[in-house]
Structure 1
Amino acid sequence: MQPRAVDAAGAAHSVAGADARIVSLVPSITETLFALGLERQIVGRTGFCVHPRDKVRAVPKVGGTKAVKLDAIRALRPTHLIVNVDENERDTVEQLRAFVPHIVVTHPQTPRDNLALYTLLGTIFGREDEAQRLSTALEARLHEAAAHSFAAQNVLYLIWREPWMSVARDTYIAAMLRLVNWHTLPDVYGGRVGAARYPTLDFDDAPWLAQVDRVLLSSEPYRFTAAHRDALARDPRLSGKRIELIDGEMTSWYGARAIYGIDYLLRQTAAA
């Protein structure tokens, strides 16, 4: 019997042939597909799919993760479309089902979930050996992180301003940070999907702010800069907090990037 892989939506997928034509609407998945050696089968990507930089330039863009150009995808005649629960709009995905034969839904919520993601993509596209190599590398990084003893830190991880927005504790970002014993505040949980996963904040109505040890300004989706960091350092409400920039790709991108992301966080703690 032909092996089948089950995606995050519970849909079973058979092994694709060598003629598979893949469109990815998820930047970290696009990078992972290249890591699996599928560059000849990737026919479309979003404008936010920027890694690996030397290879994605040759792949046509089909809009953004949410502002998707349906006609552009239709013209590429994909056999497979890869989407993510958090990053892509359900209505858009349903419209794409009308003409894309296979839609693969992903939703890693912890670093370890990447192991299942590697297996899913490796099985569907016949890259089991490459998927195993990624799994071995990730397992080594997870083991290395678990072997360390990190001082506990409460962190405010900011992803947006005007309004300020952070991350709930059941997001992938928060799970990555917990690998180095950094715990996100506010202490809220947003559920599987929805805006509650990325709560808005009012510094004047945040009694938990006193418990924050460090404020992390992510490079995405909002591109915080040194100017933002310096302005927050002058804010009396954040007096005494360590305020620093952090590479959002390393903390929020799953797939192959998680391997480098754990290394990055280990270096961040070593430099603290």
Structure 2
Amino acid sequence: MMQNNNDEDFLVDASGRRHQPHSGPARIVSLVPSLTELVCDLGLAGQLVGRTGFCIHPRAILKPVPKVGGTKDVNLERLRELAPTHVIVNVDENRRECVEEIAACVPHVIVTHPCTPEDNLPVYRLLGGIFGCEAEAERLCAELAAALDEARAVGASLPLEKVLYLIWREPWMTVARSTYISAMLATVGWQTVPEADEPRYPAFEWDAPWLAGVARVFLSSEPYRFRDSHLAEVAAASGRPAALIDGEMASWYGSRAVAGLRYLTGLRRTLAGVP
């Protein structure tokens, strides 16, 4: 989001830190897979000098970009060797202690924390303003706004459905209402259970009382890779229809949110039998 201070525009990240537009080429390390994709979609791939091993989209562009470990286990020595001017992190995906160590040696650490699909709009503008690609950011904002309108229209036109979104097996785990995934599903009229906000990723048993009223169960492709072979098991355990769902489309923010909302809109229509 933009703030005005002493007649100068500053870009403010999720930590409240103010960033000024960067002059000249940057050296960007992204420690967030979905935001690495956003960096590329903003036309900044040539300034990306580091990524995590989980940053896999777009594959051809990212293949030559050096890896600096994972989102939770960053190789700080390797990161320092890359001499980044900016490191992009996320409140949920990166450890606070690691981010604090990075901030001690990198000039600019950009903190993000989108919790709803709408929160991607200030993220687009934040990166667009810092790296001088405002036009590309506004293009993405327009695409997201259109996808949000379509998703909300479908959600409003169909009965609200309670759904269970599985992310793990042994133990069975799902998502709380406070998660980005839950907010994405809610846009098209799918309300996740349980209703509580914490814990964010609760384990459960199939006899949990809050499962009453669930219309269908979704089996996500990540972080656990559910497959067709799990559908019968889940349908038998839950007594509800079960379907696979693309986890990247439901959980990746950044530019993927546009395609994600369109995917969920289409899936809601298909499962409801609406053309």
TM class by shorter-chain length? over 0.9
Given the alignment of the two structures, is residue 170 of structure 1 paired with residue 178 of structure 2, yes or no? Answer: yes
Q: Distance in 1 between matches of 2:183 and 2:212?
A: 22
Secondary structure of residue in 1 paired with 2:98: helix
Structure 2 residue runs of 5 or longer lacking an equivalent are 1-6
Secondary structure of residue in 2 paired with 1:3: strand
- Runs ≥4 residues deviating over 2 A: none
Q: Distance in 2 between matches of 1:145 and 1:217?
A: 21
Q: Distance in 1 between matches of 2:209 and 2:85?
A: 51
Structure 1 residue runs of 5 or longer lacking an equivalent are 191-195
The answer (yes or no) to whether the contact 1:81–1:100 under 8 Å persists in 2 is yes
Match of residue 10, structure 2, among 4, 12, 18? 4
Secondary structure of residue in 2 paired with 1:62: coil
The one-character-per-residue Cα deviations of 1:39-98 (angstroms, maximum 9, x if unpaired) are 111000011111111211121111111111111101100010000011111111111112
Q: Which residue of 2 aligns with 1:193?
A: none
Supply the RMSD in Å over aligned alpha carbons.
1.1
Given the alignment of the two structures, is residue 72 of structure 1 paired with residue 74 of structure 2, yes or no? Answer: no
Identity across aligned pairs (percent)? 56
Given the alignment of the two structures, is residue 214 of structure 1 paired with residue 219 of structure 2, yes or no? Answer: no
Q: Which residue of 2 aligns with 1:108?
A: 114
Q: Distance in 2 between matches of 1:139 and 1:209?
A: 33
Secondary structure of residue in 2 paired with 1:200: coil
The answer (yes or no) to whether the contact 1:2–1:14 under 8 Å persists in 2 is no
Match of residue 96, structure 1, among 96, 99, 102? 102
Given the alignment of the two structures, is residue 203 of structure 1 paired with residue 211 of structure 2, yes or no? Answer: no
Match of residue 82, structure 1, among 73, 78, 88? 88
Given the alignment of the two structures, is residue 161 of structure 1 paired with residue 178 of structure 2, yes or no? Answer: no
Secondary structure of residue in 1 paired with 2:222: coil
Match of residue 225, structure 1, among 224, 227, 234? 227
Q: Which residue of 1 aligns with 2:159?
A: 151
Q: Which residue of 2 aligns with 1:251?
A: 250
With the length of structure 1 as denominator, give the TM-score of the two structures.
0.94
Q: Distance in 1 between matches of 2:159 and 2:266?
A: 14
Match of residue 34, structure 1, among 19, 28, 40? 40
Deviation, 1:243, is 0.6
Q: In terms of mean alpha carbon deviation, does 148-157 or 69-78 score higher? A: 148-157
The one-character-per-residue Cα deviations of 1:212-244 (angstroms, maximum 9, x if unpaired) are 111111111111111222222232xx12x0111
Q: Distance in 2 between matches of 1:11 and 1:160?
A: 35
With the length of structure 2 as denominator, give the TM-score of the two structures.
0.93
